[in-house]
Structure 1
Amino acid sequence: MTTEPTLQAPHEPRRQLPQGRYPATPFGIWALAVLVVLTGAILGVGIPLALSGPETDPGDSEFWVGPEDGQL
């Protein structure tokens, strides 16, 4: 059994994909990921904390939904 060498194409440089106006770098991708995670953490913790705070009677506001005397 003999093996014949396979024909190989001459070495061609790899074609690069077209680069956009702002090509993504690994640092840019990580920075964006950190920003998204931090934003999610702030909103995920901040919004529930803000909504769970004690309600206070704002006075004669028509938007008050608590008890009439302001006591909880």
Structure 2
Amino acid sequence: MCPDCEDFARTVLLLGRLALYADMAGADLDFVDAVSSSLAVSLPEPPPGMSADGCDSDGDATCPDDV
């Protein structure tokens, strides 16, 4: 896996786990707010080919917004 792909996947995984933690009884929601904001800001651009809808940011795929 390319380094950018690995960083992106790891950050998305952490955000997902944080969301699961936030739904638990007794979760520290102040912690969730602080960490989720930091993770979201650190989220890199998705590497080419990792877009869920098949659209790449480099313009290789035809995207709905390209009309």
TM-score class normalised by the smaller sequence: 0.3 to 0.5
Higher helix share: 2
Kindly indicate whether structure 1 or structure 2 has the higher relative contact order, using CA contacts under 8 Å at least 6 residues apart. Answer: 2
Query: Could you state the TM-score of these two structures normalised by the residue count of structure 1?
Result: 0.32
Larger radius of gyration: 1
TM-score (norm 2): 0.34
